[in-house]
Structure 1
C-alpha cells in the first residue's frame, strides 16, 4: 500500500489501482480496507481507492484521538492530493458518516455520487428518533469497548453477516472477527464516542449528489425504515435492499453489489472539473 501524509503529520495507508472514474471505498468501525477485497474486481472500469482509516489496518491512530471529522479531513486531503474528479464514494457504516461529512464540506465538489451502506444518520435514539440504537445499547457498547476490547471486537466482527451463518459465511465471520480485533482499541473507543455524538439528519438535505442507499434485510443494526428515511431526506436518493445480507452486503452479495455500483456509476452525470476549488 502507499502512504499519504495528512496535514497533522499522520501517515494514512491507501491503495490506488485501476483507471476510470475514481471509486473511493470507506470501511466501517473496526474493519479495514481488506473488507472491500471483492470490490477490487472493479479495477477493470474504475480507479479503485481503498483507505485504511486511522487506527485501522495499516494506519496508526495518530497523536490525538481520531474523530469522524478528522477521518473526513483525511479523505478530503487525499482526494485533493490525488486530484480526484467525478469520484464515486462508498461509505459503509462508520464510512457513511465520513461520507456525509465529506459531502457537506468543501471537498464535495470532487464527488459525483455516493453509496451509503447500512448506516443511520443519527446513531443514538433520542425523543421521537427511533431509527438508530437506544441509549442503553450505545452505553453498553462503550463500556464493552473499554472493559474487554478483544471480546467485544470478535463478537462484533462475526455479527456483521446475516444470521444464522452458513457454510459460506461462517469462515468469513471468523476472518472478520480476527480483523476487528486487530483494530486500535483506543482509536475505536474515540471514534465510537464521536459517532454517537454525530447527527446528520439535518445535513442530508444539503447533499446534492445522487445517492444509492444500500441496506441488508437481515442487518442486526438498522432496518428498512432507516434506509427509507435517508432516501426521503436526500434531494436525490434511491434505495436498494439486499435480501440475503446482514450489515455487509458488499461482502455477502458481492456480485450483486458490484453490479449495482457499475449501474449506478453509469447513471451519474459528469462534474464540471474546470471549476474545482478544493
Structure 2
C-alpha cells in the first residue's frame, strides 16, 4: 500500500490517482472515517482531469494506530510531510468535519506556499466546545458522552451515528441507505480505538481562530443548515467571517454527511470554485 513514514515513525496511508502534472486536490476525511469516505469526489474529480489524493489520518483507516500524536498539530504536520513527499504544488485542500479542522491547522501552521485554494465542508472550526468565549458551542458533556460511547461499545456507536444524525436519516422522509450506514461502520472500525478516542478532544476543543485568520488564499465554506453533528450557527458563518478570503454557501435542509447524500451538488460547487 502507498504510504509515507513520518518523523515519529507513523505510517500514513494515501491514495494518489491521476496525472502527476495535473492540479492536485487533497481530501481530508472526518472522524472516525478514512480516505474511502471521499469515493464520490475522488472518482468525479479524477474524471475531470485532476490529480486526486486522500490519506487516512494517523490512527484511522490503514494508517498506524498511534497511541500518541492524536491532536491537530501533529495531524497538520503529517499533512505537511505528505505534501512535501509528493511535492504538491497549487494544491486545493478539501476538508470535511474534522478534516476541515485539519486543513485549517495545516494552512495556519505551515503556510500556503504549496496551496492554491481550500474548502471547508461541515467543518469543526472555529471551535466546537462551549465556553465563556464561545457561548453558542456544544457543552463538553456531549463530547464526554461520545468518549463514553466509544469506550463502552464502539461497534454499536458506529452504527448509531450514521443511522441517525450524521446523514440526517433520523429526519422524516429521509431516503436511508443501508450501504452508506454499513460503509461508515466499516471505515470507523478499521481505525484504532485509542486514536479515535483521543481525536474527540482534538476536533471538539481545538481553537482554529488564529489559523483561519492566517489563511491568505480563497476558501469556500460549505455547510448544511440541518447539520446535527457540527451545528451551522456556531461554525460556518463564524469561519467565513474570520477567513480573509472566505466565501460561505449554505445548503438548506441538508445534513452533515452532505458529500455522500448529495455528491452531485457538492461536486458541482467544488468544481466551480476550483476552476473559478
> Is the TM value for this pair above 0.5?
yes
Aligned partner (choices 74, 79, 82) of residue 75 of structure 1: 79
Give the Å deviation of 1:96.
1.0
Q: Secondary structure at the match of 1:116?
A: strand
Farther-moved stretch of structure 1 (140-149 vs 185-194):
140-149
Q: What CA distance in whole angstroms lies between the structure 1 residues aligned with 2:253 and 2:58?
A: 31
Contact preservation (8 Å) 2:100, 2:123: yes
Give the Å deviation of 1:262.
Answer: 1.1
- Asked if the contact 1:242–1:253 (Cα under 8 Å) also holds between the matched residues in 2, the reply is no
Within-5 A mapping of 1:264-275: 264-267=273-276
After the TM superposition, which of the residue ranges 223-232 and 28-37 deviates more from structure 2? 223-232
- SS in structure 2 of the partner of residue 108 of structure 1: coil
Partner of 1:50: 54
How far off is 1:146 after superposition? Answer: 2.2
Q: Deviations over 1:151-171 (max 9, x none)?
A: 222222333102337445343
The ranges of structure 1 where at least 4 consecutive aligned residues each deviate by more than 3 angstroms after the TM superposition are 165-171
Q: 1:203 aligns with which of 211, 219, 240?
A: 211
Query: What RMSD in Å do the two structures reach over aligned CA positions?
Result: 1.9
Q: Deviations over 1:174-233 (max 9, x none)?
A: 332333233211110111123333111233211111111111232102333221111111
Query: For 2:63, what is the secondary structure of its paired residue?
Result: coil
Does the CA-based 8 Å contact 2:6-2:81 persist in structure 1? Answer: yes
Q: TM-score, normalised by structure 1?
A: 0.89
- Residue aligning to 2:168: 162
Say which of 180, 184, 199 aligns to 1:176. Answer: 184
Render the CA deviation track for 1:253-276: whole Å, top value 9, x for unaligned: 111111111111112xxxxxxxxx
Q: In structure 1, how many angstroms separate the alpha carbons of the residues matched to 2:253 and 2:179? A: 17
Point out where structure 2 has 5 or more consecutive residues left out of the alignment. Answer: none
> 2:127 — aligned with what?
122
Are the counterparts in 2 of residues 23 and 90 from structure 1 also a CA contact under 8 Å? Answer: yes
Answer whether contact 2:118 2:217 (CA < 8 A) is retained.
Answer: yes
Question: What is the Cα deviation at residue 238 of structure 1?
Answer: 0.8
Match in the other structure for 1:239: 248
Q: Secondary structure at the match of 2:113?
A: helix
Equivalence for 2:194: 186
What is the aligned partner in structure 2 of residue 10 from structure 1?
10
Aligned length: 267
Partner residue in 2 for 1:148: 153
**1:109 pairs with 2:113:** yes
Name the residue aligned to 1:31: 33
Q: TM-score, normalised by structure 2?
A: 0.90
Counterparts of 2:83 and 2:264 in 1: how far apart (Å)?
A: 27
SS in 1 for 2:4: strand
CA contact (8 A) 1:28 1:93 kept: yes
